[in-house]
Structure 1
Amino acid sequence: MARTRKSTRRAVGVAADLMLAPAVIGMRMPLLAAEAQSGNGTLGVETMRAVTEKAAAMADGVFAAQVSMVSAAMMFWPELLSGRTPSLLSGAAVEKAMHEALRPARRTVKANYRRLRAK
């Protein structure tokens, strides 16, 4: 029961942070439009930031998920020999990997919201 509550709180936290994404898009669109209308032929600062931070967050998330799964794989035999259900078989490892994969996106969305709110 305690694991379910913790899992539910974690899922609610992920959802709450990612719900800021539409607000970030809405705050970013006028900046992107102004950069597009400048007509200098180069990508603006906000445009480059929008593209690069998404790629960086995705790469960080993939790496974090892989590290989490490798860690769970390394703990398979110790968990099994201690009488516990291995997290790879119970699904806990996949759930943890999913949360680890979303952590960089959550951080990026929150940081963008704070930064764009100040403008």
Structure 2
Amino acid sequence: EGGWTDGSVELPDLKGAIDVDIFPTPFTNTLPIRRLGLGAGQSANIAVAYITLPEMSVTSAPQRYTCIEPLKAYRFESLDSDFKCDIEVDGDGLVVSYPRLFRRMR
């Protein structure tokens, strides 16, 4: 249900964050894309545990995913900044292209 702890200490800032977003990797975008199962035109706002490497800092981050075409294209938006990007995925929901940041190599 999105409860997080550091050892036995509850982390209330992360309450409700079901997914993780680890920077720098596009793999963690696959988690909400698969879990949400959005149809074309559908959107969902979520909270994630945003982890930066190598610092290992963890913060709550509000995000929105909008399905452009199921298991093909999604719009990702960071709701606490101006960042948005259309992500291309394969049939398994794995990121193929994340413009300006990542592209899967063959």
| TM-score after normalising by structure 1 | 0.20
Name the structure with the higher strand share. Answer: 2
Report 1 or 2 for greater relative contact order, CA contacts < 8 Å, sequence distance ≥ 6.
Answer: 1
| TM-score after normalising by structure 2 | 0.22
Name the structure with the higher helix share. Answer: 1
Q: Who wins on radius of gyration, i.e. which is larger?
A: 1
